[in-house]
Amino acid sequence: MASPVYKQYAVLVSSTVAFTVCFMVWMMFAILGIPIKEQLGLSETQFGILAATPVLTGSLVRVPLGIWTDRYGGRIVLVLLMLSCVLPIYLMQFATAYWHFLVIGLFVGLAGGSFSVGTPYVARWFRKDQQGLAMGVFGAGNAGSSLTKLIAPAIILAAGWQALPVAYALIMLLTAILFWLFSFSDPQHLVRHHTSLAQQWALMKNPAVLRYCQYYSVVFGGYVALALWMTKYYVGEYGFDIQHAAFLAACFSLPGGVLRALGGWLADKYGAYKVTWGVMWLCWVAFFILSYPQTTFVIQTVVGPQHFHLGLNATLFTVMLFTVGVAMAIGKASVFKFIADEFPDNIGAVSGVVGLAGGLGGFLLPILFGVLLDVSGIRSSAFMLLYGTVCVSLVWMHFSFKPVARTEESRLTQAKS
């Protein structure tokens, strides 16, 4: 008989691995979409829609998946979810038209709902003062986006893009089997008072839930959007080939995933409000710098015209992008620490709603990136849009979170005394 401690960490490790693979599949169009765009002659907007299609499904299913996790347990829900994605992934190799990829992408996107299953499943195996770190470790599975950027280009260059769906279908199937073998269930973790779908949607009226939706649409929605967009950005802006562009884009995706555990630890120690507030300010500054387009101008001087150029080179751009990735990783964990603190009996239900908001942000932003690029011709317009969203968020938080800040400060003071 396995000990409780062994079960705790077996669940944490197996769930994190499963979520990493699910996220890797969920983000596959970030790389796969590039050769498809060339093959089909797609516009930037069409590419944005293609890349974002799986994100839509993965977002919408988070609400019912959160309910089912509370009701039936995370183990059975997650393994069934993973198995349901295997066939659609495999069938993608036979797609030939744009609408084929969109339809199949909707089914592949189910993998993105794994977050709303794994978060409450993992959290309930740990004490309240450990939940932030545990959920942060699980959330490090966002690094699956980096794995796609490291693995997918090599597969495509070696065997063509059709080989990628075959490889990913096999990986997903093996991961589902291993997860079932090394995870556990505990009937005591099931929620006795079930939250109906109508009740869960009613949570949207709760001001606290709305605040967390707003936070997550920035830190997670922005992360997903950039993870989908940055490989193509490097190709277009700096002229890298797909393999080198994907590697540099991973400099954003990797810290944006693996450092989520750090965010959970910081939220446990300093409180979710302080950590998330600092994250938003850091993103605000970084997006302002990243949004400045490559600019060349001429100044008339006494000795004649002088030419000047302003713009980030590939190295500085990657450093700034890395900084944003770190900030978003910490912010994603701190938001869910809020949820664990305020809704301990409905973690699955609330995380489903908040995850939906974040996922919809990840769905809409790549499409808007493509529209802005088609209209303006300025690639950094993507960061201009993100800068605007953070500005709105900071103003909203300033006025709505003052009572929360005082409550959190009081709670931390009592805990230390």
Q: pLDDT value at position 192? A: 58
Q: Are 228 and 55 in contact (CB under 8 A)?
A: yes
Q: pLDDT value at position 175? A: 95
Q: pLDDT value at position 178? A: 95
pTM over 0.85: no
Q: pLDDT value at position 204? A: 66
Task: For the beta carbon of residue 417, count every other beta carbon within 10 angstroms.
Answer: 5
Q: pLDDT value at position 171? A: 95
Q: Are 266 and 328 in contact (CB under 8 A)?
A: no
Q: pLDDT value at position 194? A: 57
The distance from CA 176 to its chain's CA centroid, rounded to whole angstroms, is 21
Distance between CA 202 and CA 125 in Å, rounded? 27
Q: Dihedral of CA 198/404/329/136: which sign?
A: negative
Q: How buried is 54 (Cβ within 10 angstroms: 0-12 exposed, 13-18 middle, 19+ buried)?
A: buried
Q: What is the mean pLDDT of each run of 10 residues along the chain (417 residues)?
A: 81 92 91 90 90 88 82 90 95 93 93 86 82 79 84 90 94 95 80 61 73 84 88 89 88 76 79 83 92 86 83 90 89 80 72 81 89 90 90 77 58 58
Q: Are 260 and 142 in contact (CB under 8 A)?
A: yes
Q: pLDDT value at position 165? A: 94
- H-helix or E-strand spanning residue 310: strand 304-310
Domain boundaries, the chain: 4-182+195-416
Q: pLDDT value at position 83? A: 96
What homologous superfamily is domain 4-182+195-416 in, according to CATH? MFS general substrate transporter like domains (1.20.1250.20)
Q: pLDDT value at position 413? A: 61
Q: pLDDT value at position 195? A: 57
Give one DSSP letter per residue of 101-170, joined into a string.
HHHHHHHHGGGGGHHHHHHHHHHTTS-GGGHHHHHHHHHGGGGHHHHHHHHHHHHHHHH-TTHHHHHHHH
